[in-house]
Amino acid sequence: MHETFRRFAKRCAESVGSAEVFTGAVALIMVWAALGPHYAYSDTWQLVINTATTIVTFLMVFVIQNTQNRDARAIQLKLDELIRAVQGARTGLVRLEELSDEDLRTLASDFEKLRARRVLPRPSSSSRPDEPNAA
């Protein structure tokens, strides 16, 4: 089921994000607006667009969230691989997204201080407390 939804979400996100689908949505709204005078701008006329947009929005939230989660996971894995591949990189930063907000604020402050000095010191090769255990 997960794989089926993943493929559906990917295709859906790609197609819904296209210029053609956007143009179609604009055309539907224009048709709906043009029908307003014919239906005397009734409550039913308004309910049609409100219901349609609510349903589409509700469903698209799940599709977009799935796509964003997969993209974020893939980007994180790519960054982890780059960090591990760079000699002298602080590999303890690989799982940074799992730190608490306070730890992230502290780390951001440390990096801000380094940026202010415009020097990023490399950890010494003899002592690497942030080196992960063998994976």
The pLDDT of residue 127 is 47
Per-residue model confidence as pLDDT tens digits over 64-93: 999 999 999 999 889 888 888 888 877 777
Does the pLDDT at position 135 exceed 70?
A: no
Please check whether residue 96 is in contact with residue 107, taking contact to mean a CB–CB distance below 8 angstroms: yes
- Helix 43-85, helix 2-16: angle, nearest 10: 110
Ordered by start, the domain boundaries in the chain are 2-89, 92-120
Residue bearing the bigger pLDDT, 16 or 97: 16
The pLDDT of residue 91 is 77
The pLDDT of residue 134 is 42
Give the H or E element holding residue 74: helix 43-85
Per-residue model confidence as pLDDT tens digits over 93-131: 777 888 889 988 998 898 888 888 775 556 655 544 454
Distance CA 89, CA 114 (A): 15
Q: pLDDT grade, residue 133 (50/70/90)?
A: very low
The overall pTM is greater than 0.85: no
Which residue is listed with tokens 């801000």? 112
Does the pLDDT at position 8 exceed 80?
A: yes
